């Protein structure tokens, strides 16, 4: 008997020998209210059926704190009943997501196969990143992305809130950031920003889906927008021949002091490293952001500071990471910051280099682990979701060894990316989606799905080789089986010809 398709692959799945459980309008779901609501929404979207609630035990959803590790769950389904047990509320929620994937059409009806699943995550941190600086995306789009990501057991939403093109978060301590620096995006499109109420709504909605929000304020580079609001804090743009090449390739004008920037070149901006007013600004920004963010992480960027000397970069990284640590938060930085002596030793590094590290990237990333912290892995040539597909639309870029196939997004092993860094040094996996070419919610769906599912499996499932399911051949069949569910949930995935998509 073939196993039902589940993504990400569970720790263990065993098909039962009996008849399936049949769903109908008389099916009763009992137990945890939040989980029942989540399940009912999936069932209605997939089947059109409305589950009843009450004292029946057709489908039972429960939390048992002694049932396993954090976020783990168990599903036991047979002809008579379905029981989903989570070790905590998050585990029960993830069990419900898996149960939704198990629903299959049987003639004119719907069934859940007889099956036993035991499951728990490999890594504690499983994230997606959405860049809302290059193109701004409204609250409803972010909430939609949260729903989609949570269905694949991601538990962190990293919001890239600032860049050269715009500042996207309202702060009462620095009101001119949104008054003067939020109105543009790449290509001259409209900008925008989140009010404090908007941000609170995103954080609260994410929490309802067992996700934290990780806000990023990128600095000391990627800060041209800061100079529009507070010119006394920013250095004049530094234009290299490489940046001129990018401008020639992608269009736009060279950045100018005091003028909004809507191009795609990077590395020309910097804060003033030796001015104490800069660190007053950093303290104001992260202090207010810390009060708005219940999650443990604040991301201060630190990437592509090409116009900041190595010595000045080290000074800034030490000061900024220390300010965040003193707020009681855990700093996060892109891997370049690992080269800076004096960085707060709690700082998490985010590796965005290639699957085969280049130009000292591995050494910089390793420095975080040597300090006693860990890494988030975001290999650009595997799970940067903004890279073009080989067979897809014109959306996306190709600089990360692109185009990036679904197979390449899947076929990598986290413990083999940075030499010498095994699971003990890895906090988790994150799939970034940069938005130079991504303007709409439909664009996000197209670029993220199905490749986000590959990243989800790298973060959740057993290591490559530790499970018969952890192969490309298995994954392409399993993710293809999700096509009807994704369609019913309104996910406009890219119908890659690498995947044998089920039609029902």
Alpha-carbon gap, residue 442 to 434, rounded angstroms: 14
Q: Going by DSSP bridges, is the β-strand pair 73-77/125-131 parallel, antiparallel, or unpaired?
A: unpaired
Active site residues: 304
Which residues on neighbouring strands pair with residue 160, listed in sequence order? 131, 216
Q: Could you read off the pLDDT of 393-448 as tens digits, one per residue? A: 999 999 999 899 999 999 999 999 999 999 999 999 999 999 999 999 999 999 99
Residue ranges in 29-126 assigned as alpha helix (H) = 33-47, 89-102
**pLDDT for 439:** 98
Fold of domain 125-482: TIM Barrel (3.20.20)
Alpha-carbon gap, residue 163 to 157, rounded angstroms: 18
Say if residue 249's pLDDT is above 90. Answer: no
Say if residue 1's pLDDT is above 70. Answer: no
Closest alpha carbon to 173 in 282, 321, 269: 282
Percent with pLDDT over 90 in the chain: 93
By residue count, the chain amounts to 504
CATH 3.20.20.80 residue ranges in the chain? 125-482
- The whole-chain average pLDDT of the chain stands at 96
The DSSP secondary-structure symbol of 271 reads: B
CATH 3.30.379.10 residue ranges in the chain? 12-119
What architecture (CATH level 2) is domain 12-119?
2-Layer Sandwich (3.30)
Q: Which residues of 118-127 are buried (b: 16+ CB within 10 A; e: fewer)?
A: bbbbbbebbb
Mean pLDDT of all residues in 361-386: 98
**pLDDT for 352:** 98
Q: Could you read off the pLDDT of 96-154 as tens digits, one per residue? A: 999 999 999 998 899 999 999 999 999 999 999 999 999 999 999 999 999 999 999 99
- Tell me how far the alpha carbon of residue 118 is from its chain's centroid: 25
pTM value is 0.98
Alpha-carbon gap, residue 396 to 382, rounded angstroms: 14
**pLDDT for 254:** 92
Mean pLDDT of all residues in 68-75: 97
Say if residue 378's pLDDT is above 60. Answer: yes
**pLDDT for 242:** 83
């Amino acid at each position: 008997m073939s196993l039902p398709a589940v993504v990400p692959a569970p720790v263990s799945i065993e098909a039962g020998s009996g008849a399936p459980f049949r769903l109908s309008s008389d099916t009763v779901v009992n137990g945890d209210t939040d989980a029942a609501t989540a399940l009912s929404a999936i069932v209605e979207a997939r089947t059109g059926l409305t589950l009843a609630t009450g004292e029946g035990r057709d489908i039972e959803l429960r939390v048992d704190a002694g049932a396993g590790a954090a976020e783990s769950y168990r599903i036991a389904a047979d002809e008579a009943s379905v029981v989903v047990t989570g070790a905590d509320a998050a585990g029960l929620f993830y069990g419900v997501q898996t149960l939704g994937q198990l629903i299959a059409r049987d003639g004119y009806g719907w069934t859940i196969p007889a099956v036993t699943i035991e499951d728990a995550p490999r890594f504690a941190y499983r994230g997606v990143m959405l860049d809302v600086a290059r193109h701004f995306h409204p609250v409803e789009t972010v909430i939609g992305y949260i729903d989609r990501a949570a269905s694949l057991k991601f538990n962190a939403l990293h919001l890239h809130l600032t860049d050269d093109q715009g500042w996207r978060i309202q702060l009462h301590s620095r009101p001119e950031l949104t008054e003067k620096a939020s109105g543009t995006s790449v290509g001259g499109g409209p900008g925008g920003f989140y009010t404090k109420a908007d941000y609170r709504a995103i954080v609260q909605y994410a929490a309802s889906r067992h996700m934290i929000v990780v806000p990023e304020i990128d600095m000391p580079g990627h800060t041209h927008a800061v100079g529009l609001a507070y010119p006394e804090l920013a250095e004049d743009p530094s234009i290299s021949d490489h940046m001129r090449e990018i401008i020639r390739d992608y269009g736009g004008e060279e950045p100018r002091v005091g003028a909004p920037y809507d191009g795609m070149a990077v590395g020309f901006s910097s804060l003033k490293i030796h001015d104490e007013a800069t660190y007053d600004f950093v303290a104001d920004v992260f202090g207010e952001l810390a009060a708005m963010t219940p999650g443990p992480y604040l991301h201060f960027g630190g990437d592509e500071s090409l116009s900041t000397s190595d010595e000045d970069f080290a000074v800034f990284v030490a000061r900024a990471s220390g300010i965040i640590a003193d707020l009681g938060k855990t700093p996060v930085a892109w891997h370049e910051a690992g080269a800076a002596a004096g960085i707060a030793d709690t700082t998490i590094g985010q590796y965005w280099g290639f699957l085969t590290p280049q130009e000292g990237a591995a050494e910089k990333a390793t420095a975080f682990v040597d300090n006693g912290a860990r890494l988030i892995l975001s290999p650009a040539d595997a799970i940067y979701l903004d890279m073009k597909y080989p067979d897809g639309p014109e959306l996306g870029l190709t600089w990360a060894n692109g185009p990036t196939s679904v197979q390449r997004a899947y076929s990598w092993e986290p413990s083999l990316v940075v030499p010498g860094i095994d699971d003990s040094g890895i906090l988790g996996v994150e799939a970034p989606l940069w938005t130079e070419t991504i303007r709409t919610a439909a664009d996000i769906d197209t670029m993220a799905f199905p490749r986000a599912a590959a990243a989800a499996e790298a973060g959740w499932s057993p290591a490559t080789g530790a499970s018969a399911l952890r192969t490309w051949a298995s994954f392409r069949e399993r993710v293809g089986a999700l096509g009807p569910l994704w369609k019913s949930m309104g996910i406009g995935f890219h119908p890659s010809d690498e995947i044998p998509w089920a039609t029902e």
